Amino acid sequence: MGRALIVVDVQRDFCEGGAVPVGGGAGRARAIADLVERTAGGEYAHVVATRDHHLDPGGHFSDHPDFEESFPVHCVAGTEGGEFHPDFAPAAERKVDEVFYKGAHSASKSGFEGFAADGTALADWLRAREITEVDVVGIATDHCVKATALDGVRADFAVRVLLDYTAGVSAETTVRAVAELDEAGVELSGTPVVLA
């Protein structure tokens, strides 16, 4: 029995200056790096991270995005925008046990749709290490953090979202996401950053 931290999509393209910036993303990158440095190997038996890793995701990329299901081109595999934010990258290099890549050919918002470099799915990786509880942090509260947390519940993990370590796209969609998470039985702590 153990607890793991899932760090969702703390990438350049989702922070200020990126292709699809989320207000407060860079600040959350710094805060999450500090959290990882303080808790990896202590409170958390394992720390994993997810990355959007798009090759050809079809309608997920659009010249006329709706910012719900379609977005401008972002986090293309092999580009700078797809890399971890520089404020998080050093902590990731030192403390993250595995990275799960998602969305090569689809939207794939949930980290549980991601795979490690060896093809292992996130849920299988966690179960192999006797993880039963996960904390979820990252970007964006109302998109990939929400999807990851909901899929964690569906996969029978006890899920907590640390909202102080998330950034939301808009107040309206973040409030809706938090309500959806609460209704699904996700434990919630803190308040998400929303800088519209």
Active-site option among 95, 102, 109, 146: 102
Which residue, 180, 114, 167, 171, is CA-closest to 140?
167
Instruction: Tell me the residue type at 194.
Output: V
Active site residue 144: yes
Contact of 99 with 139, CB cutoff 8 Å:
no
Give the torsion through C-alpha atoms of 71, 137, 82, 22, to 10 deg: 50
Active-site option among 9, 13, 135, 151: 9
Active site residue 102: yes
Using CA atoms, how far residue 167 sits from 141, 146, 159, in Å, is: 6, 11, 18
Active-site option among 87, 144, 146, 151: 144
Q: Looking at the DSSP assignment, which residues form a beta bridge with residue 162?
A: 189
Active site residues: 9, 102, 144
